[in-house]
Homo-oligomer: A and B are copies of this chain.
Amino acid sequence: MVKPAYVAVDWGTSSFRLWLIGNDGSVLDERRSNEGMVAAATTGFGTVLANHREAVLAPADLPVIICGMAGARQGWVEAGYIDVPAALSTIPFAAARVPDATADIRILPGLAQRDRAHPDVIRGEETQLLGALADLPDGHSLVCMPGTHSKWVHVSDGMVTRFHTFMTGELFDAVASHTILKHSIADTGAVDGGSDAFRRAVEEVIRNPATATSLLFGARSGTLLHGLAPTDAKALISGTLIGLEIAGALDAAEPGAPVVLVASGALGALYESALDCAGVEPVIVDADIAVRAGLAVAARSLWAL
């Protein structure tokens, strides 16, 4: 008979995910909501967590392991950062303890790169990395974790040596919603990573990254002069921003280091196509599985489950 062993939570800026995990490591129950850091800061982090723990019938004293923005300064309890270079295996031991009468609740820290010229921070993705570690090739790898703020992390034998954040996803939203280009992409659905428009944009910006913001304007002038279709205009914008990111990240890569893509769903497919345009065939790791695996590693490290 499988018994509940711990609760695992991935608490992002705008999303909340909770799993009830059994003593054999299996997922006994799962909850998803939009009660991310922003919403929980109003509702109360303790209230949000308590509601979901009750919903999955978790015993009150079951330990809880949390990663993500709940540990940010504007979150629940600040969980700070571990400075790189850092061994991923040390992450669990720097978790912040949430004051609670009955359960052991801990929030995992982020990673900080305090280099004056290239300061950078990670919060949440360190747990995916911890979970993906077993799937990484030996030696040095370059791990791409796309999203609102894409992270490219250099990992060497279980150590994070350095990393770079690219604002790709957030820039795409800002450009698509708050510039003149919004008129060129009205009423379009998801971008097709296999489309000519997407792949051409990726290849063009990799060839000449400095022209990125001029290539973006091509979405408007293409519409005006050549009747560029809205779906192609959107693919052009997406491909330009993702291609710029890939050009910048590969530029800082160790020669020959394998690229590992930690992603899921449609975003994963876009990056796989864009990496292909750059001549890179990545090792693929599912991001949803990785974060749960990372939380499991942390729970086992802390509580000898």
Q: Which residues of A contact B (CB under 8 A)?
A: 73, 112-114, 116-121, 149, 164-168, 170-171, 173-175, 177-181, 204, 208-214, 216-218, 220-222, 224-226, 241, 244-245, 247-248, 251-252
Contact = CB atoms under 8 A, between A and B. Distances in A.
B177 A221 contact: no
Given A120-B221, A221-B120, A248-B210, A216 B175 contact: no
A184 to B, nearest CB: 12
A179 B165 CA distance: 14
B120 A217 contact: yes
B218 A120 contact: yes
Contacts of A210: 209, 244, 247-248, 251
Contacts of A208: 248, 251
A116 B174 CA distance: 26
A225 B167 contact: no
Contacts of A226: 114, 116, 119
Nearest to A121: B221
Contact of A211 (B114, B211, B222, B251): B251
Nearest to A152: B214
Contact of A248 (B167, B211, B220, B224): B211
A179 B175 contact: no
Given A251-B208, A251-B211, A167 B179 contact: yes
A213 B251 contact: no
Say what secondary structure dominates the interface of chain A: helix
Given A174-B178, A174-B179, A213 B166 contact: yes
B167 A216 contact: yes
A211 B211 CA distance: 13
A217 B218 CA distance: 25
A175 B164 contact: no
8 contacts: A112-B224, A121-B225, A165-B214, A171-B216, A174-B174, A209-B209, A209-B210, A211-B248
A110 B251 CA distance: 39
A170 B180 contact: yes
Nearest to A81: B225
Contacts of A241: 213
A121 B224 contact: yes
Contacts of A165: 214, 217, 221
Nearest to A171: B213
B244 A213 contact: yes
A147 to B, nearest CB: 13
Contacts of A174: 174-175, 178-179
A181 B170 CA distance: 10
Given A170-B179, A178-B177, A248 B119 contact: no
Nearest to A123: B224
